[in-house]
Copies of this chain bind each other. A is one copy, B any other.
Amino acid sequence: MSSIREAAKLEATRMQSVNPAQYFERNLHQLGFGDPEHALLQTLKELTDNALDAAEAGNILPEVKVNVIALDKTYDFSRLKERRISARFFKVSVEDNGIGILPDRIADCFGTLLYGSKFFILRQSRGQQGVGASAALLYSQLTSLQPAVIISKISGGKAIYVELKIDVEKNKPDILVMKETKWNKKHGTRIELITPGRFTARVERYFRELAIGNPHATIMVRAIKEPDGDPLEVKIERAIEYMPRKPLEIKPHLLSLDPGTLQRMAEMDKCCRTAASFLAKHFSMISPKTARKLLFHAKLPPHIKPSQIKADRIVDAAKKVNIRRPPLNVLSEIGAENLEKALWNIYPDAEFVAAHTRPPWSYRGIPFQIEVAVVYGGESVQRDVSERPGKFKVIRLANRVPLPYDSSDCLLYRCVGEVNWKNYGLKIGDHGTITDPIIFVVSIVASKVPYTSAGKFAVAHDEDIKGETILALQEIGRRLRMFLSRRRKIIEKERRYEYFKEFYKLISEEVKLITGEEVTPEVTLERLFEEVRS
């Protein structure tokens, strides 16, 4: 028996807390890092997300400069002789013209895991967790041992240069250098990391998709894929010259709030005197009158303190009181017209581009909005289709950010598979694959996107989101069918035109032979065209 007691004591000596930096350092693959295929693209994705958010926070048309330069140094993911896996190191930098970061906040923004301005707020934005960019730093320093180099400048301030690493034991920045510097820019942020990875076709595709989700952004990518190789320069100019509507913050909605969250909000509230005013102030679509009704149905007096609320009763009462859906004008959709412009920008030789924007709706009390588009035909589409993996060729966007992985798990992808595209005139091959050269775009914007994982790879299943997406795809399908049937008729006419043109001389000779009537070939042709056109 005493050995069992000893085991319990030994176990107790081993128990300790783990901080978020320690947790994510050991679980970087959950955030999309950890292997060469994913690491480089994930780094670029997290840094450009922040760059675009930083510009939009100041109502600035974003201009993002990305540099990816291969270094003459490799990283061994596995050093076993039998199975050595290595990838190249890249110097990655992303520079924006955003609002910049206050000098005393720069280090924490990048050097602390789970730190940021967006976590507690319900508002459409690319970043949500305060974990993406610092995870990119963590991965960089683990593999390259090099610090991150950051320059940031707020409007009217001095540019600040910072070199830092993350102190994993403390989950705090370890600042190596911090000084004022000269920077030929009014405001913005630039971050530079050394990180290992593979520069695949997926990386180039990512920036094209990013431009589709952000027609108001100019994106410049300069990449040197091999040391001393020729630079690849891609400049995607913005397709529209005005800012999208600014997304607004919303309050939580009683119809989907967990009672535990409501209870805690009530207990922690410091600003409201009564339960009624607390409900009216902190929740979506609750007027003072609705608040009183809620408390009445919950059998609670309206003048109790917020902390005396019984959350489960309020939540039950919410089913009886008519609470409207959340306000839906808080989102910033791409817009069908803008989406079409962005697609023509990327696929200038396409035969057909069409986009459709659904009105906003809500899932579990959170506003969202679906937009879809198709691009059909042309060489650039053909090329893109052949490169793209998966059964259907779908560009997925969530809050304007492309989702490059895990398509088969993603609701946005699966919705495309649920539509019977044969009904809309597309050619279907074996195994149900569409053989026409077509790319679908499915975009969701939401105050909070329901991702399936911390790495934000895929959108989770939800019936409301699914319903809206299918409706949008069916609408675009109808337009596609019209285009395809028109196209077919034109092709058919052209075919007949070519046929007649070739034989019209022969025909006029035949006519002469049979009727004796002398008609010129031109007249014959004209008469036949009449026939065809009718």
Contacts and interface: CB of A to CB of B under 8 A. Distances in A.
A217 to B, nearest CB: 17
Contact of A364 (B78, B186, B268): B78
B4 A187 contact: yes
A290 to B, nearest CB: 14
Interface stretch (A19-27, A281-289, A336-344, A374-382): A19-27
Contacts of A144: 259
A50 to B, nearest CB: 12
Copies in the complex: 2
Contact of A145 (B114, B156, B187, B311): B311
Given A2-B155, A8-B102, A452-B29, A79 B315 contact: yes
A177 interface: no
A99 interface: yes
A157 interface: yes
Contacts of A29: 450, 452, 460
A206 to B, nearest CB: 21
A454 interface: yes
B23 A255 contact: no
A453 to B, nearest CB: 5
Given A4-B187, A8-B100, A454 B168 contact: no
A463 B85 CA distance: 10
Contacts of A527: none
B169 A129 contact: no
A93 interface: no
A164 interface: no
A454 B30 contact: yes
12 contacts: A5-B154, A7-B57, A8-B187, A9-B154, A11-B102, A14-B118, A17-B115, A18-B119, A30-B30, A79-B318, A142-B259, A145-B263
